[in-house]
């Protein structure tokens, strides 16, 4: 799994107020949201490809094992 951009951003904002590091807050947020995870679009954040409706960081393969653009 790639990092969730929404949770990472929320962890940064939380770290500004509580004195914990961003990674510490990220772990806490993931645990808090375990039963209600972010959508694929929220997880991708700025990497969401509206046209393909997917996270552009993830390489997709065709049925012929060719990398899709």
Per-residue pLDDT of 7-23, as tens digits, reads 999 999 999 999 999 99
**pTM: predicted TM-score of the whole model, two decimal places:** 0.75
Tens digit of pLDDT for each residue in 11-68? 999 999 999 999 999 999 999 999 999 999 999 999 999 998 989 888 665 555 555 5
Q: How many residues does the chain have?
A: 69
Helices marked H in 3-62: 5-18, 22-32, 40-44
Instruction: Tell me which residue of 11, 40, 45, 3 sits closest to 28, measured CA to CA.
Output: 11
Residue 69 reports pLDDT greater than 90: no
- pLDDT for 63 equals 57
- Find all residues with CB under 8 Å of 20, minimum gap 6, and list them: 14, 28
């Amino acid at each position: 799994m790639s990092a969730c951009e929404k949770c990472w951003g929320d962890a940064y904002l939380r770290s500004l107020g509580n004195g914990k590091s961003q990674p510490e807050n990220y772990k806490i947020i993931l645990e808090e949201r375990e039963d209600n995870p972010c959508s694929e679009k929220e997880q991708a954040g700025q990497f969401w490809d509206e046209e393909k409706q997917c996270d552009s960081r993830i390489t997709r393969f065709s049925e012929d094992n060719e990398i899709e653009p």
